[in-house]
Amino acid sequence: MSSPKVDHQQIYRAVPLFKSLSEEELDAILSISRLFRSPEGHHLVEQGESGKGVFIIVNGSATVTVVDSDGESTILASLSRGDAVGELSLIDSSPHSATVTCTETCTVFHLDNKAFNALRAEHHTAAFKVLRATAPMICERLRQMNDRIAAIFANPQKSMAEMEKVYLRKTEHNPFQ
């Protein structure tokens, strides 16, 4: 029978953030992380709260939602096994930009950003390998964002029609705006 440690290693090997880590480096990360069970409806992180680090769904599913200034909430993404959120909070400890809610009982891996930053301050190779692994994801998301912004201005006529709809919906919602 394999030890629980080996099971963990197998799970985390599959996570892009940890792929390049040696066994010792992965141990260093696991020693400052925790695995916990989270019930349906529980918020792993809430929009606006200070950065808590990275959460990886080991089992189960969750949604990512944002609430705008009018109180309107939008689902940005659905998360399932292996998906991670909160990578940015590892880098700069800034507040979470969305709320993550478990849609069923989940097993969740949490790498706390304070513990991670202690590892980073020690110049531990594990911390820098994880940071480096976040970079391509951020690059990809940045490219997607920039493409979406560019697409809005590439076809102004089409976007104007869309924005008029957004405007109407907002004024309907609050006619005194």
Partner 1 sequence: MSAFDTDPDLVKNLVDELPLLSELSARERNILTAVFRLRSLDDGATLCREGDRGASFFIVAKGVIEVYKELPNEQREKLAEIGRNNLIGQVALIDGKPRSATCLAKGQSVVLECARDDFDRLFQAGSPFAFKIIDQVVIDLSKRLREANTQLHELYANPKQTLLLLHEAALNIQQTITA
Residues at the site binding partner 1, with contacts judged by CB under 8 A: 68-69, 88, 91-92, 94, 97, 120, 123, 125, 128, 131-132, 134-136, 138-142, 145-146, 148-149, 152-153, 156-157, 159-160, 163-164, 166-167, 170
Residue number with CB closer to partner 1 (36 or 167): 167
Residue number with CB closer to partner 1 (110 or 129): 129
Query: Identity (one letter) of the amino acid at 110?
Result: H
- In sequence order, the β-bridge partners of residue 133 are none
Instruction: Single out the residue of 11, 62, 71, 8 nearest to residue 38, CA to CA.
Output: 62
Name the minimum Å distance from CB 39 to partner 1: 29
Residue number with CB closer to partner 1 (2 or 153): 153
Strand ranges for 39-149 from DSSP E: 43-45, 53-59, 62-67, 73-79, 84-85, 99-102, 106-112
